[in-house]
A = this chain, B = another copy of it.
Amino acid sequence: MAMTGVLRPGHAQIRVLDMDAATRFYGDVLGLVETGRDRSGRVYYKAWDERDHNSIVLRQADTAGIDFFGFKVLNKATLDQLDADLRAYGVKTERIPAGELMETGERVRFEIPSGHLIELYAEKKQPGNGLPAMNPPPWSTEAEHGIAPLRLDHGLLYGPNVNQVLDIFTNVLGFTLTEYVTLPDGVTKGALWLSCSIKAHDIAFVEFPEPGKLHHIAYLLDSWEKVLRAGDIISMNKVPLDIGPTRHGITRGTTIYAWDPSGNRFETFCGGTQPYPDWDPVRWNWEGLADGGLDFPQRKLHETFLTVVS
């Protein structure tokens, strides 16, 4: 088959400091659709155009950050095969029973050398995107409630040992390295963009001394004009903005970085290349990261990009 193995980022569980502030933000400002709450108090969201029941799960906690980042795989056989492949590689995996996360099947969870918990799963209920199954219009009013991204797009995680992470994602999980930044030594990869599809990235990693940190969760918008609209809504709601609107040199995508009320950075992302696994990855050297890689118009390495994580 053409699309096999790991399909896409499926869910991320985010820690928030104040659930009321968080749900106001995720529901009305970011404009995700709330799809449920569970007994442990977690609140579930999907982006309006996603088919699956949930993609963002909020958990109240004392510190912000990410609990885990999960990928949907093609089917149960793929899940079992990837679990076996991970174990054969030497990665310890754990099975989380179906239902622990709402409307979600059994998950295979493992920790990667950057200190993050990654999950794979094959099943999540698909209530759909709210449009009729036959002759659907291209969008509904949900597409204009708040920033209203189309989907969870990718995550950028900060932690140590990203070259070991690269090996697992490319050699075990079947991802493609699409772009990377070398450290000042000019050789060692210090930042990685990885795709399991033809998206510019489904997940990305940056070398960082502290393990398990979240740089940002990205949500997809479908035009540069929608990025401006996101910036307007961010401002109208006094959401603290980090960088943008601008264009990344890396991926070519357009972007705004800002922070949720708990200090978790999010990105409203649009566009980007559509790389194939037979393409050479695009290389950025350390100077290039500053010289257009992060912020193409400004050619500036905003200091927060390298230092502020949750």
Contacts and interface: CB of A to CB of B under 8 A. Distances in A.
A174 B1 contact: yes
Contacts of A249: 135-138
Nearest to A289: B135
Given A249-B138, A276-B7, A241 B174 contact: no
16 contacts: A4-B174, A126-B279, A133-B283, A135-B288, A136-B249, A136-B282, A137-B249, A138-B247, A138-B249, A197-B197, A228-B297, A231-B297, A234-B297, A235-B299, A241-B299, A245-B246
Interface of A: 1-8, 49, 51, 72, 74, 126, 128, 133-139, 144, 151, 173-176, 195-199, 222-225, 228, 231-232, 234-236, 238, 241, 244-247, 249, 252, 254, 256, 271, 273-274, 276-280, 282-285, 287-288, 291-293, 296-299
A74 to B, nearest CB: 7
Contacts of A244: 297
A49 to B, nearest CB: 8
B293 A135 contact: yes
Nearest to A2: B196
Contacts of A254: 228
B137 A236 contact: yes
A134 B49 CA distance: 35
A152 to B, nearest CB: 12
Contacts of A279: 51, 126
Given A7-B276, A135-B249, A271-B222, A2 B175 contact: yes
A123 to B, nearest CB: 9
Nearest to A197: B198
A225 B224 CA distance: 7
A235 B74 contact: no
Of A176, A244, A292, chain B has the most CB atoms within 10 Å of the CB of A292
B288 A176 contact: no
By Cβ-Cβ distance, the 10 closest A-B pairs, closest first, are A231-B297, A1-B174, A135-B288, A2-B196, A138-B252, A2-B174, A2-B5, A134-B283, A225-B225, A3-B277
Given A133-B282, A231-B247, A4 B7 contact: no
